[in-house]
Amino acid sequence: MRKIALSIIYVLVGTLAFGQKHANNPQQLSFRTVVDLTHALSNANPPYEETAEPLFRTKTVATIKRNHYFAREICLPEHFGTHLDAPAHFAQGKWTVDQIPPERLIAPLVVIDVSKKADRSPDYQISTDDISTWEKTNGQIPSASVVIANTGWAAHWNSVKEYRNADAKGTMHFPGYSLAAAKLLVEGRHVYALGIDTLSIDYGPSADYPVHQYTLSHSLYHLENVANLNHVPAHGATVISAPIKLAGGSGSPVRIFALVP
């Protein structure tokens, strides 16, 4: 991380982050720190489902010594590592990755810390009480924001076994959102997206993914396997999510930045 004083992007942010209606009167955004909320992609990343072959594969096709340049081919699933779920992932006819309006990918960032509760209960589900507690301290969650839960689960990232936390029957155990909390954020706060530092917005034991079904059908997108949430404040930062613009994609690896004022 490095301190940055940047104003040259104000036209972009004024147009995208604050909506098209502000395009003729852009607002300048200043910040001092950029926090990368992304895990580096590699075959060591914990997968949602275990497979015999690595899900992330690379092939070197050119080297400096042989070709005077370096290049690789890569192969990976849409939903791998730090990634974005498009609405079409669970809702037929909704936006695919390339159809998500770009102004929704730059937004105020809200971080709800439930790490102490998740530490006591791996199957913890973020509740409406957690949202109420956050708002008592920070004010109401603004509309058109991106809400990301800091469960502390990123501490297990370097251990596939601990991050997946599967029991003897193969059921995984990690925190997620409750459906009630998701409904409050969608219907009561009108947020653009939900994020979390685990493999899924739904908690590990979920078999039917009710939060995915509900939120994606309401045209939200998800950010999963988010990193470095301990380095951003509860509110005040701006998040930029930049997925690969995959035509027809159900999801995509994503680079996420938090601009901290």
pLDDT at 27: 52
- Proportion of the chain above pLDDT 90, given as a percent: 86
* Residues 6+ away with beta carbon under 8 Å from 65: none
DSSP strands (E only) in the chain: 33-36, 57-62, 71-75, 83-85, 106-113, 125-126, 146-150, 176-177, 193-196, 221-224, 238-243, 251-260
CA distance 76 to 149: 26
pLDDT band at 173 (very low <50, low <70, confident <90, very high): very high
| Residue 17 scores a pLDDT above 60 | no
Q: Hey, how many other C-beta atoms are within 10 angstroms of the C-beta on 13? A: 21
pLDDT band at 30 (very low <50, low <70, confident <90, very high): confident
Q: Show which residues are catalytic.
A: 89
Q: Hey, how many other C-beta atoms are within 10 angstroms of the C-beta on 255? A: 15
pLDDT tens track for 72-99: 999 999 999 999 999 999 999 999 999 9
- Proportion of the chain above pLDDT 70, given as a percent: 89
pLDDT at 60: 97
pLDDT at 179: 98
pLDDT at 16: 44
pLDDT at 12: 41
Which tokens is 123 given? 């199957």
pLDDT at 31: 85
221-224 and 193-196 strand pairing: parallel
| Residue 9 scores a pLDDT above 50 | no
pLDDT tens track for 198-234: 999 999 999 999 999 999 999 999 999 999 999 999 9
| Residue 29 scores a pLDDT above 80 | no
Query: Can you tell me the mean pLDDT for 238-253?
Result: 98
Instruction: Give pTM, 2 decimals.
Output: 0.89
| Residue 39 scores a pLDDT above 60 | yes
| Residue 28 scores a pLDDT above 70 | no
